[in-house]
Amino acid sequence: MSVTRPATIHGVGLGPGDQDLMSVRADRLLRSATHVAYFRKAGRRGRARTCVEGMLRPDAVEIPMEYPVTTEIPLDDPAYAACLSEFYADVAGRLRELAQGGTEVVVLCEGDPFFYGSFMHLYTRLKDDVPVRVVPAITGMSAAWTATGLPVTWGDDVLTVLMGTLPEAELTRRMAGSDAIVVMKIGRLLPKVRAALDAAGRLDTAWLVECASMAEERVIPLAEAGDRTVPYFSIVIVHGQGRRP
C-alpha cells in the first residue's frame, strides 16, 4: 500500500513590490506553481497578487485568503486577536489538507515572510505537520532607505524598527534613543508618528517613502507631508549619522 508523501508549502517572499527585485528562487517557484495562495482584503485583488501579474501559469489554481477584519476592530481588542486566530487556523487547515494530499502550494508573501508578515502565522501552524520552506526576500524598509539616496547607518549606528501602531509615548521614547529609525505600518497613523518624531527631536531629518520600488513611489521630507492618510506601504526613515572614515 503506497502512502502519499506530504507536498511542500512554500512561503515565497516577493520583496518590496518590483518584480526585478525578487530572488531567482522566488521567480522559479512562482512561474512553475500549480497552486498559488495569497492574502487579500475582502473585495480587493490584493497587493501580493498584483505584484506577480504576468508571472503565473495560465492554469494555476489561485487560492485567495481574505482577512475577516483589518481596521474595523482596534488592535488591542481581544476580539481582534480571536477573529484572526480563527482565520489563520482555517486557512492553515486548507493548505495542510492540500499538502497532505500531495499538492505543492506557493504562498505569496509581501516583503520577507519572516519580517512582520502574515505568513508567519501559517508557518507556526503548519511546520510540524507538513514540509514548509521559506524563501527570504528584500524587505520594504531596505527599498525605502535606498529610495532616499542616503545610507541609513554608519559605523556603530543602532537601527531601530518601530511600528506606527505603538503608543505615541513609546514611539517617542524609542525614537529619542536611536541613531537610525524605520517606522512601518503608518497609513492613517501618520499624525501620531509625526508628533512622536517631533517630541523626540527627529522630525527635521525624517523622510516619508510611499510604495518604495513600485510605480507609485514617492519620497518627501516628512515635515512637508502634512497629516493626510498615506498608503499602507509607507515607511518613515531617519538616517543615522555615525562614525565614518
Q: What pLDDT does residue 239 have?
A: 98
pLDDT tens digit string along 162-177? 999 999 999 999 999 9
Q: Is residue 216 a contact partner of residue 143, using CB atoms and an 8 Å limit?
A: no
Q: Is residue 181 a contact partner of residue 236, using CB atoms and an 8 Å limit?
A: yes
CA–CA distance, 211 with 88 (Å, rounded to integer): 27
pLDDT surpassing 90 at residue 132: yes
Specify the number of domains making up the chain.
2
Looking up residue 118, the CATH number of its domain turns out to be 3.40.1010.10
**Position 78 confidence tier, pLDDT thresholds 50, 70, 90:** confident
Same domain, 57 and 158: no
Tell me the average pLDDT across 2-31: 93
pTM here is 0.91
SS3 235: strand
Scanning the structure block, which residue is given the C-alpha cell 543615522? 240
Domain boundary among 84, 116, 135: 135
pLDDT tens digit string along 202-244? 999 999 999 999 999 999 999 999 888 898 889 999 999 999 9
- Report yes or no on 16 lying in a domain: yes
Q: What pLDDT does residue 43 have?
A: 86
Q: What pLDDT does residue 226 have?
A: 86
Same domain, 124 and 225: no
Q: Is residue 129 a contact partner of residue 123, using CB atoms and an 8 Å limit?
A: no
Domain boundary among 118, 135, 152: 135
Tell me the average pLDDT across 122-142: 97
Tell me the average pLDDT across 127-148: 97
Q: What pLDDT does residue 52 have?
A: 97
Q: Which domain holds residue 232?
A: 140-238
Q: Alpha helix (H) ranges present in 132-231?
A: 140-148, 168-176, 190-199
Same domain, 129 and 182: no
pLDDT tens digit string along 92-129? 999 999 999 999 999 999 999 999 999 999 999 999 99
Q: What pLDDT does residue 33 have?
A: 98
